[in-house]
Structure 1
Amino acid sequence: MTHEVALLFGSAFVIGLLGSAHCIGMCGGLSSALSMGLKPQKPAEKVWFLNLLNLGRIFSYVLAGVMVGSVGYFAQDLGAGKLLRLFAGILMILMGLYIAGLSKVLVHIERAGAKVFSFIQPLSRAFYPINNSRKAFIVGFFWGWLPCGLVYSTLVWSAAQGSVIISPLLMLAFGMGTIPALLLTGSLSVKFQSVIKNSNFRLLSGLAVLIMGIWTIPGPHKSWLM
């Protein structure tokens, strides 16, 4: 694995981790609702179902990564690779501004995606109550298609890699980065949320993502960002 690929995977994980404040705000309520919808017989079974919910969610990211990776591959083959990377870089910059609390542009992207999700969401209702492993994974899979500007931006960024292997792996790394915010409970959750919701932390996190976006855009400026 080259240093650049390792940097890409590390960046994807960090984006998921840094964007956790957004995940808590958008998915936290849904995560709690899904938790209450679980019908396990034992506490250990509930933990297992929660893990499967998140595995299903991350699997949807990976599948989407395969899809956009294929699009990115053909875009590069048609000579539109630089244009795709430019678009991905701009979305990354907007994501950084959003995480830093300096822009709400991604909210409009989420609203557009909500129209698509309105057709997907009813499909998950057939799997309630969540009383077995299969249902937990499938509901988690549908959960992954919840409209989210953070996910959309990361998808476009992964598509810019133009690979049906690297793109889904980047989405896997991104999904793994979101797990702590959604799975931690008790005092650990309170401490974690207090850190990622801190205004200074969000500002620095947003700046880091913004720099990643600038680095993604093709051009001579990449030489002094490396």
Structure 2
Amino acid sequence: MNGAQLLPVFVVGLAGSIHCAGMCGGIVTAIAVAPAHAGVHRTPVRILSMDSGVRRNDVGYVVAYNAGRISSYMMAGALAGGLAGGARSMATLAGMQLNFYWLANAMLIALGLYLMNAWRGLAVLEQGGRVIWRRIAPITKTFMPADTPRKAFTLGALWGWLPCGMVYSALTTALLSGSALNGAAMMLAFGLGTLPMLISLGLLGAHLQQAMRRRSLRIACGLLVLGFGVIGLARAAGGVTPDWMDMLCLTPHQ
């Protein structure tokens, strides 16, 4: 897998990250960060707070949190890619390969509509993910307040399993990556795409959130993601086949 194949995954993460700012206020939880050293007078900051207008000034804590979050994405991608890659020799999977390809691109279309708030079908998947999250959420309390970078990283790694339709869409693509390594690489690219938005949220909070509520911006980002899905389905149907389309397709065409 080369960088050209990872570029569209990065772009989808970048465009889809508006979901975190404008559409996940009821899901994303404010994480309080206490001073790293006792006796050092620093203003406590919040990482990924969707409600607070407090100024964020501790970039190190925000980066540690997001590094943990992306590490969880990579782990999930490795599991998805390894599961499908390990079973690839099975005739049943070979026969289902094209179906998975259609599913992955249909998920991108669903994500695009979700970002535009035109269709909330992915919310059903998020509800399913809450079954796992209910077991993880109590553990997060052990690391709060996150008064060290290690705690911030661990908290981010746990929060990486928060139910999110956008992440599930990316994982569907990772299923077709062919191996655990490729699956992890795809989710790394996706996570890096979300990084600019989430670091900015950690530092600017409510100010950025307010800007991301603009309907025109959500529609533009949603159309971009939806476009990737439409192009992928066109390739699957045989209507668009030039090699340069690899730059615009998230899933390998088998």
Establish whether residue 201 from structure 1 lines up as the match of residue 217 from structure 2. yes
| Cross-structure match for 1:40 | 36
Is 2:146–2:152's contact at 8 Å kept on the other side of the alignment?
yes
Letter in 1 for 2:151: K
Q: 1 CA distance for matches of 2:65 and 2:12?
A: 21
Establish whether residue 118 from structure 1 lines up as the match of residue 130 from structure 2. no
Is 2:80–2:183's contact at 8 Å kept on the other side of the alignment?
yes
Q: Pick the aligned partner of 1:150 from 166, 173, 184.
A: 166
Secondary structure of the 2:76 match is: helix
User: Any unmatched runs of 5+ in structure 1?
Assistant: none
Is 1:38–1:46's contact at 8 Å kept on the other side of the alignment?
no
Tell me the percent identity: 32
Q: 1 CA distance for matches of 2:99 and 2:160?
A: 27
Q: 1 CA distance for matches of 2:128 and 2:222?
A: 23
The number of aligned residues is 219
Is 1:28–1:182's contact at 8 Å kept on the other side of the alignment?
no
| Cross-structure match for 1:17 | 14
Moved more, 204-213 or 14-23: 204-213
How far off is 1:12 after superposition? 1.4
Q: 2 CA distance for matches of 1:29 and 1:73?
A: 32
Q: 1 CA distance for matches of 2:79 and 2:224?
A: 27
How far off is 1:211 after superposition? 2.3
Q: Deviations over 1:10-56 (max 9, x none)?
A: 1111111111221124269746x21x243424659943222111100
Letter in 1 for 2:16: G
Q: How does 1:141-180 map to 2 (within 5 A)?
A: 141-180=157-196
Q: Deviations over 1:60-104 (max 9, x none)?
A: 000111000112213543303212112111111101111122111
Establish whether residue 6 from structure 1 lines up as the match of residue 6 from structure 2. no
TM-score (norm 1): 0.84
Establish whether residue 68 from structure 1 lines up as the match of residue 80 from structure 2. yes
Name which one, 1 or 2, has greater alpha-carbon Rg.
2
Greater fraction of residues in helix = 1
Letter in 1 for 2:145: P
Is 2:70–2:188's contact at 8 Å kept on the other side of the alignment?
yes
Off by >6 Å, runs of 4+ in structure 1: none
| Cross-structure match for 1:183 | 199
User: Any unmatched runs of 5+ in structure 2?
Assistant: 44-56, 246-254
Q: Pick the aligned partner of 1:26 from 15, 24, 27.
A: 24
Secondary structure of the 2:180 match is: coil
Letter in 1 for 2:60: W
Is 2:12–2:190's contact at 8 Å kept on the other side of the alignment?
yes
How far off is 1:126 after superposition? 2.0
